[in-house]
């Protein structure tokens, strides 16, 4: 039997190898560290997990595709972007994970997201593997026609790698209902098949699940509420700071408000808005979803209760809860210090890896309840899997049914993470609980399926 410290040194050695084998991929290194640094107790306790090659296979994607995406803008100029799809692990089901369109996208970013996705999808308890994709295309300021031509060109290569039983993409940053529509149209045209389950996040009326747009934000709020309940508190009357103003942020604010909390901020890459009366969601949705504008327009139109701060950090705003819902590494060590000083009780990640490792450490040390993204934001992919189930059965569930399923899945994820952390001597540590519980499910399937 290997001891925890021997296992830890094997994992540390492996992390060094990962860095050498995958140069210039800092986000992937960060995600690998975050997971592997918590696995020593379970690998030491269960000798089958120490089998040579198991974790080495887990950190190497099954397949990585990089392709050219040429498209023409409205003036006829040709642009060339780069497309990615990383099919990381299919031990539990078809690869599943979103597509991100943002100028910061590169292979390392997609690999970090795909790696996280393996454990997140495992935690849902559903039959989905892990993958992620996207492009360095920037949709900001592009016309609908330009976005359509880009999506069509992207799918003209991607279609050969995906399928309802193979790999099922969805949305992420820069990819919402409009983009999924264009992508699905091109897939249908090329393949001459109505294969609804090949993409999730589709429009309602042509295969999309009710509550899919809401699911990530709603799920994160349910996870935050479950963490608070463990401490004998609830959401009623709590003040919340939320970053971002896209899909996840909007439905986080909606659910917080519905459950009696006061969500007072939102942000985008230009700055943040504070609204002491609570964010007016109709106005925010009009500006972000209909007009595709910037958040300063919210403050201009809202009146005296709101003001816009250009640049700066939304985490400077004092609150009981913080729900980062924009992008990776947006909540730093300095931000964590500010949040702690202002008495934050819980931080729950709607975005993927938004909190830097140093900030996570500080928050946990200060006794703040910390919900890692792979558990807290798993509601989105869970309802995507429910969308696949509805597509397969050629049926559509009511919103109430989907919401009940989502609530049950989030409760189950919270309980699993909580109990797993206790089982491995880390009570209250949801990071350890989520990583170990997700790992156990994937590792068991990989071991059963042989060395592939
Ligand atoms: P959207 O594109 O709808 O919104 C993203 C928001 O974050 C925008 O307000 C955007 O502002 C802001 N943002 C993005 N990048 C940056 C940046 N580099 N600096 C500052 N602000 C930034 O994306 P989603 O809401 O779908 O995704 C948000 C996060 O949630 C991501 O981390 C994603 O991976 C994660 N997530 C999403 C899921 C989903 O179902 N959609 C599921 C699980 C996780 P701006 O417009 O100015 O760029």
Tens digit of each residue's pLDDT (9 = 90 or more) over 328-361: 999 999 999 999 999 999 999 999 999 999 999 9
Number of domains in the chain: 3
| Burial degree of 333 (CB within 10 A; 0-12, 13-18, 19+) | middle
Residue 44 CA to residue 7 CA, distance in Å, equals 6
**Residues 227, 364 within the same domain:** yes
Tell the residue nearest (CA) to atom 38 of ligand 1. 172
Query: Pairing mode, if any, of strands 167-170 and 262-263?
Result: unpaired
pLDDT per residue as tens digits for the range 109-155: 999 999 999 999 999 999 999 999 999 999 999 999 999 999 999 99
Measure 271 CA to ligand 1 centroid, in angstroms.
Answer: 14
Separation between Cα atoms, residue 172 and residue 174, nearest integer Å? 6
**HEC letters along 138-182:** CCCCCCHHHHHHHHHHHHHHHHHHCECCCEEEECECCECHHHHHH
Catalytic annotation, pick one of 111, 132, 255, 374: 132
Tell me the pLDDT band of 6, cut-offs 50, 70 and 90. confident
Please check whether residue 382 lies inside any domain of the structure. Answer: no
Cβ atoms 382, 124 nearer than 8 A: yes
Give the residue from 33, 59, 85 where a domain finishes. 59
Is 132 annotated as catalytic?
Answer: yes
- Percent of the residues in the chain that have a pLDDT greater than 90, as a whole number: 98
Pocket test for ligand 1, best of 27, 147, 246 (most atoms within 8 A of CB): 246
pLDDT value at 416 more than 80: yes
Placement of tokens 């899909």 in the chain: 247
pLDDT digits (tens, 9 = 90+) for 51-71: 889 999 999 999 999 999 999
* Whether residue 75 sits in one domain with residue 24: no
pLDDT at 209 over 90: yes
Residue 337 structure tokens: 């210090």
User: For residue 320, is pLDDT > 90?
Assistant: yes
Residue 15 shares a structural domain with residue 87: no
Task: Mark whether 46 and 72 lie in a shared domain.
Answer: no
- Overall average pLDDT of the 380-384 stretch: 98
Distance of CA 327 from the midpoint of ligand 1 (Å): 5
228 and 176, same structural domain?
A: no
pLDDT in tens, 148-205: 999 999 999 999 999 999 999 999 999 999 999 999 999 999 999 999 999 999 999 9
Same domain as 37, residue 117: no
**Residue 1 confidence (pLDDT):** 62
For atom 11 of ligand 1, the residue with the nearest CA is 268
Q: Is residue 287 a part of any domain in this protein?
A: yes
Tell me, yes or no, whether 126 lies in a domain.
Answer: yes
pLDDT for position 5: 87
Neighbours of 5 (CB within 10 A): 10
Phi, psi of 97, rounded to the nearest 5 degrees: 170, 160
Q: What mean pLDDT is reported for the chain?
A: 97
Tell whether 22 and 116 lie within a shared domain: no
Q: What is the CATH number of the domain that holds 354?
A: 3.40.50.720
> Looking at the domain assignment, is residue 405 inside a domain?
no
Tell me what the mean pLDDT of segment 368-372 comes to.
Answer: 98
Q: In this structure, is residue 79 part of a structural domain? A: yes
Q: Are 333 and 359 in contact (CB under 8 A)?
A: yes
Same-domain pairing of 113 and 53: no
Which helix (H) or strand (E) element contains residue 214? helix 212-230
Residue 294 lies in a domain: yes
Task: Name the closest-CA residue to atom 37, ligand 1.
Answer: 172
Pocket test for ligand 1, best of 269, 272, 349, 374 (most atoms within 8 A of CB): 269
Residues 31 and 138 in one domain: no
For residue 120, the model assigns a pLDDT of 98
For residue 199, the CA-to-ligand 1 centroid distance in Å is 19
pLDDT at 51: 87
Pocket of ligand 1 (CB under 6 A): 171-174, 176, 216, 244-249, 268-269, 325-327, 350-352, 377, 380
Residue range 226-241: mean pLDDT, rounded = 98
Given a cut of 90, is residue 207 above it in pLDDT? yes
Tell me if 134 sits within 8 A of 169, measured CB to CB: no
Which residue's CA is minimally distant from atom 15 of ligand 1? 327
Q: What is the CA radius of gyration of the chain?
A: 21
CA 314 to chain centre: 20
- Residue 172 pairs in a beta bridge with 175
Regarding pTM above 0.95, the answer is yes
Looking at residue 152, which CATH number applies to its domain? 3.40.50.10860
How far apart (Å, rounded) are the C-alpha atoms in residues 261 and 233? 12
376, 399, 431 - which closes a domain: 376
Distance from chain centroid for Cα 211: 16
pLDDT reported for residue 4: 83
Beta bridge partners of 239: 262
Single out the residue in 42, 59, 76 at which a domain terminates. Answer: 59
**Nearest atom (ligand 1) to Cα of 175:** 2
**pLDDT (0 to 100) of residue 383:** 98
Contact between residue 335 and residue 357 where contact means Cβ atoms under 8 Å apart: no
- Tell me whether residue 88 is in a domain: yes
Range of the domain at 41: 4-59
Q: How many Cα atoms occupy the beta-carbon half-sphere of 202 within 13 Å?
A: 26
| 22 and 129 co-located in one domain | no
Using CA atoms, how far apart are residues 378 and 408, in angstroms rounded to an integer?
12
155/84 same-domain check? yes
pLDDT at 3 over 90: no
Distance CA 132, CA 141 (A): 25
């Amino acid at each position: 039997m290997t001891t925890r410290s021997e296992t830890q040194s094997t994992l540390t050695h492996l992390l060094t190898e990962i860095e050498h084998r995958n140069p210039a991929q800092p986000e992937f290194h960060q995600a690998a560290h975050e997971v592997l640094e918590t696995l020593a107790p379970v690998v030491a306790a269960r000798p089958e997990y120490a089998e040579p090659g198991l974790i080495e296979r887990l950190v190497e994607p099954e397949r990585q595709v990089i392709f050219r995406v040429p498209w023409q803008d409205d003036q006829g100029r040709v642009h060339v972007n780069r497309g990615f799809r990383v099919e990381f692990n299919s031990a539990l089901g078809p690869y599943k994970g979103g597509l991100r369109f943002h100028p910061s996208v590169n292979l390392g970013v997609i690999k970090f997201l795909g790696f996280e996705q393996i454990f997140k999808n495992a935690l849902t308890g559903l039959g989905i593997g892990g993958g992620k994709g996207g492009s360095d295309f920037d949709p900001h300021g592009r016309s609908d026609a330009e976005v359509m031509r880009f999506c069509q060109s992207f799918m003209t290569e991607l279609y050969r790698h995906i399928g309802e039983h193979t790999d099922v993409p969805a949305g992420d940053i820069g990819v919402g209902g409009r983009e999924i529509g264009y992508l699905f149209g091109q897939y249908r045209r090329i393949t001459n098949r109505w294969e609804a389950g090949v993409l999730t996040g589709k429009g309602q009326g042509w295969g999309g699940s009710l509550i899919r747009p809401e699911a990530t934000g709603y799920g994160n709020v349910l996870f935050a509420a479950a963490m608070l309940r463990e401490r004998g508190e609830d959401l009623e009357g709590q003040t919340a700071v939320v970053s971002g103003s896209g899909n996840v942020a909007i439905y986080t604010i909606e659910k917080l408000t519905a459950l009696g909390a006061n969500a007072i901020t939102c942000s985008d890459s230009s700055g943040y808005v504070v609204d002491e009366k609570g964010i007016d969601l109709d106005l925010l949705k009009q500006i972000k979803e209909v007009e595709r504008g910037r958040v300063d327009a919210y403050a201009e139109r809202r009146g005296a209760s709101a003001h816009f701060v250009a640049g700066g950090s939304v985490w400077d705003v004092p609150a009981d809860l913080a729900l980062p819902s924009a992008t990776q590494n947006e909540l730093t060590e300095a931000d964590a210090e500010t949040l702690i000083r202002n008495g934050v009780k819980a931080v729950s990640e709607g975005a993927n890896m938004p909190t830097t490792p140093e900030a996570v450490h500080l928050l946990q040390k200060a006794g703040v309840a910390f919900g890692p993204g792979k558990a807290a934001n798993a509601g989105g992919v869970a309802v995507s899997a429910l969308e696949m189930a509805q597509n397969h059965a050629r049926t559509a569930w009511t919103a109430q049914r989907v919401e009940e399923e989502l609530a049950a899945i989030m409760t189950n994820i919270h309980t699993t993470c909580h109990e797993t952390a206790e089982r491995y001597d880390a009570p209250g540590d949801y990071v350890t609980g989520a990583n170990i519980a997700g790992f156990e499910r994937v590792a068991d399937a990989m071991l059963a399926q042989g060395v592939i």
